Chains A and B, each alone.
Chain A
Amino acid sequence: MSAFAWDMNILFIIFSSYFGLQVIYALILGAVGFRENRQRSKQTEAEDYANFAISSFTIPVSFIIPARNEQEWINETLQSILNLNYPEYEIIIVDDQSADRTLAVLTEKLKLEAVSNPFVDRFAQGKIRGVFKSKKYGNVTVLTKISGFKKAGAVNAGLNFARYKYVCVIDSDIILEPEALLKVMSQVQKDPDNIIGIGSSFGLVNGFKIRSGRVVEKSFSYNPLIAYQNIEYIRAFIGNRIAWSRFNASPIISGGFGIWRRDILLELGGFDAQFTCEDLEFTFRVRKYITENKKLDYKILTLPYYVGWTEGPGNFRSLFSQRGRWQRVTNETVSSYLKMVLNPQYKWFAFVILPYFLLYEVLGVFFEVSSIGMVLFGWLAGLLDIRMFLAFFALMVLTQTLISLISIFAYIREESLFRVRDIAYFIGLCFLEVFWYRWVIAIAKLWGTIGYLRGVKTFDQYVRTKSG
């Protein structure tokens, strides 16, 4: 029995160290994120975007929007891109064999006309059945293709038709801010020879009022499920991604809104449909490419600007499906690039980012579930007194709360998007997260991990409601 208690002690020390490390990591990254956020925010304040908006030397961009069963959102998303304040861009929408009215909505809005321009399909990931040009907007093309290669296949199909130096891949349920592309591309314009990828933050549209592709009222949803997701977005972007970007070590340019230089996309053979999702794996692949080809001046940046708004899952089932998918792709990607961990060639990426991914994104769920399982078991088996049980549980609650609060503070220091009452509400939720939301996500992650182990690679699309 004493040997058992001794084992429990060791486990306690491991779990406590895990949470302690997490807080130290969050403090350091929070401070870096804070600084980076401030710098970007000051740059935005000082920048005169009027020049960019009219110049013929502003770098043009090709948008690719993969769409599958997006009848609810595609119209608003497209309109938000058409509303962009940017001198030159083209839009390529790829209908990936939607079973709903997506294509009909597009046909109606764009007045599509079939064209028979020959093309070369470099990727052959689902036959491209039709190419349509809009009679109303000269810069819009719609492709229809046979599905089967997930979002990666649809984006790659669009890539065959992209003409410009930079390609912006966005989800078909994102409402872009009118200045989004100007803000992001003005950073690219500073060094287009070396900036090969760039992403930026986006938030949840749930609760907003949208008209003609514009957000007319930003009222954040007080539905806890949505509010927690908002906190998670802030935590992910400000607490991690912005800070990683400071060290030129961004491990992901989100598929929701991500800009890549076209030559890099083509050189690396486009996105990989073998993975559940394409964005994380592609960024890892680019990292590998940069190091192996000694292109060490190349940069992948993440910016803190809210470039747009996307619909977050509005119910448990959808949330479960989304997070399970994210977990699967994280596991797939990390296991595929495991050789990069602690490999000195990859510097920050090998010593900070990948170990973080391994410890917190891949194995984190096991630590969390087993730590709470252990104290519960210890308490129920009479090995632990209630004081120990509560102390350990409080440690979990407080570390998670502190990590969220650091990100929220770093965020609101520069952004005045949220009202005081929204922030107070978020803070209240932070203290309660470990009591329920955390476990919903943990179960979804466990489910995702099981899916990964079973080799599931489907892209489970959750149902869009547009109701928030």
Chain B
Amino acid sequence: MFNNLTELIIKADKILFVAAVALALATIIFAAARESVVRRRVLNLEKIKKNLQRMVRADREKIEETIPVFVDEFSPQQFSLLSKEDYLKLSPGLEQEIKDNFISSGKLEAVEQMAHKGRDKWDRVEALITLGYINSPATLGILQRSLLDRDEDINYFALQALGQLKSQEAAKVMLDFLAKNPHRGYGIALLLEAFPATISAELYEAAASQYGVVRYWAVKLIGKFKARDYLPRIEGLTADSNSDVRAAACECLGLLEDKEAGAVIKTCLKDKLWFVRMHAVRALDLIMGATALPDALPLIDDPAAKVREGVKNILARNIQQALPYLEKYLFSHDQAVRRCCAEALVDAGYIPVILKDILSEDPDVEQKAMRLLAGLVKSRIYFGLKRALEDLSVEEKNRVLLIVAAMDQGLAERIKQENK
């Protein structure tokens, strides 16, 4: 039995040994060949780059002579590399001439064929990118068809190539594609953001799309483009059936600082979804500033922390106008409300002012500050009192601590202990 087993294992050893040695040799040979190919490719690219740089600096006549020779050196696939050469952008005229020469050289057909029917997926991808860069008359159609390809990489890179066209037609195709591929939202928005503002008309159309995801991203982009002509439609979208769209519309109106939109945004403060309320509060802050306080303050006890944070920010940014409200809300029974007020005072850098005012000789100022400090102490929220005390003189510190001790003996003792 052992003998049979030994023979079997020795046979397996022989197979494994041959496989291991063959793989080891193949790996080394492949690595060496690859190193040499990479070196050659790098040298080639360096040459192309140098030629390009020379051309950017050369005389007009010389350029006209050189371009056809230069284009001839390129394989169709290599052409996409030019799109990544930033310094070519310095001379847009030259870039266009290179593209025109490429088209007239007859190489374009090969690229179009490859993009359309290429067998190797990655050759197709490269051809799609090249087409996007060249932007020939057939490009849009080919890219549009490629978007329907079942392969995720093909339709992803077709989208990227469309992004290079930067035309209204391309924007429309991309927005249509978004309707059926909502997960591509971020990618499409990222590409459209780099388009010229002239696509706002397409975005306006898209904002009325039957698809929520298209309306959402259209509104987001209108906000980025600051396209103020379309405010009435955006205002209308604050009542959209899709909550994401309502939130985006509020955000957009805030970014555009649409003074007329106050009324519609206020209705969104009562929305049943917290993130719509959050964007409404933020938009009101941007549009109305301190005057938003009376409308926003009822949301100080909102169940959603992010909404409360929005209210806190309005309070902190408009601290002087907010003080009467803070005096009241600091004594709320709701811990979250007290926290919101304390945070607003801290964020506004108002704690040192309170401590200074407590020591004021003006009784009105002193009284107000005392009320705020009492509220803070009672809120049982750490609000940086210890740190604020560090900036006072020893005498001032002792006076403040006496006052704090009258409000909360334990807190004063703790601060004294920590100081020791």
Q: Do A and B come from one complex?
A: yes
In the complex, given contacts A23-B16, A388-B2, A392-B9, what are 11 additional A-B residue pairs having Cβ atoms less than 8 angstroms apart? A13-B5, A46-B129, A57-B189, A116-B387, A118-B343, A391-B6, A391-B13, A402-B19, A402-B20, A419-B35, A427-B28
Say if the beta carbon of A227 comes within 8 Å of chain B. Answer: no
**CB <8 Å contact, A398 and B1:** no
The 8 A-B residue pairs with the shortest CB-CB distance in the complex, in nearest-first order: A116-B384, A398-B16, A57-B190, A57-B189, A55-B190, A391-B9, A405-B23, A191-B183
Chain B residue contacts of A394, Cβ below 8 A? 13, 17
What are 17 A-B contacts defined by CB distance under 8 Å? A42-B153, A46-B122, A46-B160, A51-B194, A118-B342, A189-B186, A190-B184, A384-B2, A387-B10, A391-B9, A391-B10, A395-B12, A398-B20, A412-B30, A412-B34, A419-B35, A427-B24
**CB <8 Å contact, B20 and A189:** no
**CB <8 Å contact, B125 and A46:** yes
CB closest residue in chain B, given A8? B2
Chain A residue contacts of B16, Cβ below 8 A? 23, 395, 398-399, 401-402
**CB <8 Å contact, A409 and B346:** no
Say if the beta carbon of A408 comes within 8 Å of chain B. Answer: yes
Known: A46-B157, A55-B193. A413 touches B30 (CB 8 A): yes
Say if the beta carbon of B270 comes within 8 Å of chain A. Answer: no
Contact residue range for chain B?
Answer: 35 or more
- Per-position binary interface string of chain A over residues 384-421, scored 1 when its CB falls under 8 Å from any chain B CB and 0 otherwise: 11011001101100110110011011001100101110
Within 8 A of A (CB), among B1-43: 1-2, 5-6, 8-10, 12-13, 16-17, 19-20, 23-24, 26-28, 30-32, 34-35, 38
Known: A58-B190, A118-B342. A405 touches B384 (CB 8 A): no
Say if the beta carbon of B332 comes within 8 Å of chain A. Answer: no
**CB <8 Å contact, B193 and A190:** no
Say if the beta carbon of A139 comes within 8 Å of chain B. Answer: no
**CB <8 Å contact, B26 and A409:** yes
Say if the beta carbon of B191 comes within 8 Å of chain A. Answer: yes
* Chain A residues at the B interface, C-beta cutoff of 8 Å: 5-6, 8-9, 12-13, 16, 20, 23, 39, 42-43, 45-48, 50-52, 55-59, 114-118, 189-194, 384-385, 387-388, 391-392, 394-395, 398-399, 401-402, 405-406, 408-409, 412-413, 416, 418-420, 423-424, 427, 430-431
CB closest residue in chain B, given A415? B34
Say if the beta carbon of B233 comes within 8 Å of chain A. Answer: no
Q: How far is the CA of A418 from the CA of B28 in the complex (A)?
A: 11
Nearest Cβ on chain B to A18's Cβ, whole angstroms: 13
Q: How far is the CA of A424 from the CA of B32 in the complex (A)?
A: 10
**CB <8 Å contact, A387 and B6:** yes
* Chain B residues at the A interface, C-beta cutoff of 8 Å: 1-2, 5-6, 8-10, 12-13, 16-17, 19-20, 23-24, 26-28, 30-32, 34-35, 38, 83-84, 122, 125-126, 129, 153, 156-157, 160, 163, 182-184, 186-187, 189-191, 193-194, 220, 224, 339, 342-343, 346-347, 351, 381-384, 387-388
Q: How far is the CA of A387 from the CA of B7 in the complex (A)?
A: 10
Known: A12-B5, A117-B346, A392-B9. A401 touches B30 (CB 8 A): no
Chain B residue contacts of A13, Cβ below 8 A? 5
Q: How far is the CA of A57 from the CA of B178 in the complex (A)?
A: 15
**CB <8 Å contact, B27 and A412:** yes
Contacting B20 at CB < 8 Å: which of A58, A385, A401, A418? A401
**CB <8 Å contact, B382 and A118:** yes
Nearest Cβ on chain B to A442's Cβ, whole angstroms: 21
User: A interface, by DSSP: helix, strand, loop or mixed?
Assistant: helix
Q: How far is the CA of A114 from the CA of B390 in the complex (A)?
A: 12
Nearest Cβ on chain A to B81's Cβ, whole angstroms: 10
User: Which among B16, B24, B35, B191 has the highest number of chain A CB atoms within 10 Å?
Assistant: B24
Nearest Cβ on chain A to B151's Cβ, whole angstroms: 11
Nearest Cβ on chain A to B217's Cβ, whole angstroms: 9
Chain B residue contacts of A189, Cβ below 8 A? 186-187, 190
Chain A residue contacts of B220, Cβ below 8 A? 57
Q: How far is the CA of A27 from the CA of B125 in the complex (A)?
A: 29
**CB <8 Å contact, A409 and B30:** yes
Known: A16-B9, A118-B383. A406 touches B23 (CB 8 A): yes
Chain B residue contacts of A118, Cβ below 8 A? 339, 342-343, 346, 381-383
Q: How far is the CA of A47 from the CA of B122 in the complex (A)?
A: 12
Chain B residue contacts of A47, Cβ below 8 A? 160
Q: How far is the CA of A20 from the CA of B11 in the complex (A)?
A: 13
Chain B residue contacts of A409, Cβ below 8 A? 23, 26-27, 30
Q: How far is the CA of A47 from the CA of B191 in the complex (A)?
A: 13
Nearest Cβ on chain A to B257's Cβ, whole angstroms: 18
Chain A residue contacts of B28, Cβ below 8 A? 420, 423-424, 427
**CB <8 Å contact, B194 and A427:** no
**CB <8 Å contact, B27 and A423:** yes
Q: How far is the CA of A394 from the CA of B12 in the complex (A)?
A: 10
**CB <8 Å contact, B183 and A193:** yes
Chain B residue contacts of A59, Cβ below 8 A? 186
Nearest Cβ on chain B to A188's Cβ, whole angstroms: 9
**CB <8 Å contact, A405 and B24:** yes
**CB <8 Å contact, A402 and B23:** yes
